[in-house]
Amino acid sequence: MKPDSIDNIYLTMINYWSWWWEVDNERDELARTILTLLVLVLVLLLFKWTTSFTRNATNAPPGPYGLPVVGYLPFLGHNLHERFTEMAHKYGPIFSLRLGSKLHVVVNSIDLAKVVARELDQTFANRSPPITARTISYGAIDVAWSNNNAHWRNMRKLLVSQVLSNANLDACQGLRTNEVRKAISNVYAKMGTPVDINEIAFDTELKVATSMLWGCSDSDDYFHDFREVEFKIVELLGAPNISDFIPMLSWFDLQGRKREMQKQKDHLDRIFDSIIEERIERNSRKMEGEVDEDLILKKDFLQIMLELKDAPTSFDIIQIKALLSMILSATTDTASTMVEWVMAEILYNPNVKKKIQDELTEVIGMDVVQESHLPKLKYLDAVVKETFRLHPPLPLLIHRCPDESCMVGGYTIPNGSIVYINVWAIHHDPKNWPDPLEFRPDRFLNSNWDYKGNNFKFLPFGVGRRICPGVPLGEKMLMYILASLLHSFEWILPAHEEFDLSDKFGIVTKKRKPLVAIPFQR
């Protein structure tokens, strides 16, 4: 091999190797050294084993060769969704790559996504959670990380019928109105100064979610560092962990990811314990005859779960905590990320902003925004959908795992491999969307687009039996917060603010640079 090409390979590896170290902490330096030494030793010891693995996977989808032991890991780079999309251009609509000891398969076209999530939906309905996900979800017993089994079906049914049913969402309308109005008053107090858009949206979503889950009140002090904890959880869920790729190293937790996630989990656990204990005590006082008007009038999710505890389909306290934790993450981070993306697109596209303001004036006038106005805001709805197309917050959805070997696109997908549906590639494919990089909300006007995963061109909430069950709440909150922020204020970017729509891959893919804007009286 020529010295030049060796240099190039070396530089590429150094460049991409940094993907490993996205979450900087003190242990990374040590982990990097130990890992490098271990890899060298293991390269030699396991070379034979690796080559036999490659030979066996003869009918696997095409894809790049990697190094022994680590496979293609060192070459992946930072933004996995973009990297996978580039690789699809080279290897085709389905390709595979070995990362550590596991085969990963990426599906990039509508036709093959239909095979995975429609024809073989049942086979592909397991999850294979990474170690950080197992840690935060009390051993993968929540709705998002549990495998496709009776327990998962039970929990999902409960979530959909009790928390997210139309009846319950209607009953909680007052809560949403309260919290959105409080958020608008907070912004009033900051008029003329720069405001972090994600922070406003996150806090509002958090208050709505906690009120629905256990009826929080403003005096609860756990809100204080909640955003930081949630951000850390989401960051760790998306950060590559060598223990997942080379399970024999998991005992060492070389990057400290598991320990870091355990810290976040312990923090949440203490909050949940105190809330649940307090509720159990209140319930026992009620059983002794004391009247608790609050609990009689409304049943929040915690109350429903506790009352189910003795029923045949009961949940124990650990399962209840796993569900609370999962719902909080699902509700706060995705929706606040989307509010930020939509506001960024609007502020960077003055024509779009003008059209939205005209629509708000026409539909709402001098009134305060109410949920009943939302279905009439057709243009804002199209803007939100176009933003979902360009910036799907989960660009690879949550990966799936087949419970038996099966065929997709003429290739064998072995039982236990990790399968991604690359929604990013589908949303950016010119075959599906002409001029895919342009922000053109009109694409979504005058046609019946929804978030139910029926049209495989547009899958921001996922598809098949693992589709997001939170669509009705997520959509409502997103539209409500956006309409209120845009109707109440004129938003201006700070002077010298650069036009920046770059993203940072994670399980929720966020705007790389937080959006800050200045509200003025409208």
Which residues are part of a known binding site for heme? 468
Question: Which residue in the set 469, 485, 486, 505 belongs to the binding site for ligand HEM (CB under 6 A)?
Answer: 469
Place of tokens 């026992």: 284
SS (H, E, C) 148-190: CCHHHHHHHHHHHHHHCCHHHHHHCHHHHHHHHHHHHHHHHHC
Distance CA(522)–CA(141), nearest Å, equals 47
SS3 category, 104 = strand
Chain mean position to CA 79: 15
SS3 category, 452 = coil
Q: Please, which residue, 75 or 505, has the CB nearer to ligand HEM?
A: 505
169 is a site residue for ligand HEM (CB under 6 A): no
Build a one-symbol-per-residue string for 282-321: x at contacts with ligand HEM by CB under 6 A, - elsewhere: ----------------------------------------
Q: Please, which residue, 275 or 330, has the CB nearer to ligand HEM?
A: 330
238 is a site residue for ligand HEM (CB under 6 A): no
Answer whether 175's CB lies under 8 Å from 297's CB. no
466 is a site residue for ligand HEM (CB under 6 A): yes
Choose the stretch contacting ligand HEM; rule: CB under 6 A; options: 1-9, 217-225, 283-291, 326-334: 326-334
SS3 category, 506 = coil
Answer whether 113's CB lies under 8 Å from 85's CB. no
327 is a site residue for ligand HEM (CB under 6 A): yes
- At closest approach, how far in Å is the CB of 436 from ligand HEM? 19
Q: How many residues bind ligand HEM (CB under 6 A)?
A: 26
130 is a site residue for ligand HEM (CB under 6 A): no
H helices of 365-420, where? 378-390
Build a one-symbol-per-residue string for 387-426: x at contacts with ligand HEM by CB under 6 A, - elsewhere: ------xx--xx----------------------------
Choose the stretch contacting ligand HEM; rule: CB under 6 A; options: 31-39, 61-69, 103-111, 467-475: 467-475
Question: Which residue in the set 461, 480, 489, 491 belongs to the binding site for ligand HEM (CB under 6 A)?
Answer: 461
Q: Which residues contact 299 (CB under 8 A, 6 or more apart)?
A: 307
Question: Which residue in the set 93, 474, 506, 519 belongs to the binding site for ligand HEM (CB under 6 A)?
Answer: 474
Distance CA(250)–CA(15), nearest Å, equals 25
Q: Please, which residue, 444 or 461, has the CB nearer to ligand HEM?
A: 461
- At closest approach, how far in Å is the CB of 363 from ligand HEM? 22
Positive or negative: CA dihedral 267, 269, 275, 277:
negative
DSSP 40-91: HHHHHHHHHHHHHHHHH-TTSPP----BTTTBTGGG--S-HHHHHHHHHHHH
467 is a site residue for ligand HEM (CB under 6 A): yes
Question: Which residue in the set 71, 256, 460, 506 belongs to the binding site for ligand HEM (CB under 6 A)?
Answer: 460
Question: Which residue in the set 156, 232, 299, 504 belongs to the binding site for ligand HEM (CB under 6 A)?
Answer: 156
Answer whether 323's CB lies under 8 Å from 143's CB. yes
Distance CA(377)–CA(389), nearest Å, equals 19
Distance CA(407)–CA(411), nearest Å, equals 5
- At closest approach, how far in Å is the CB of 425 from ligand HEM? 15
330 is a site residue for ligand HEM (CB under 6 A): yes
Q: Which residues bind ligand HEM (CB under 6 A)?
A: 143-144, 156, 326-327, 330-331, 334-335, 338, 393-394, 397-398, 460-463, 466-470, 473-474, 478
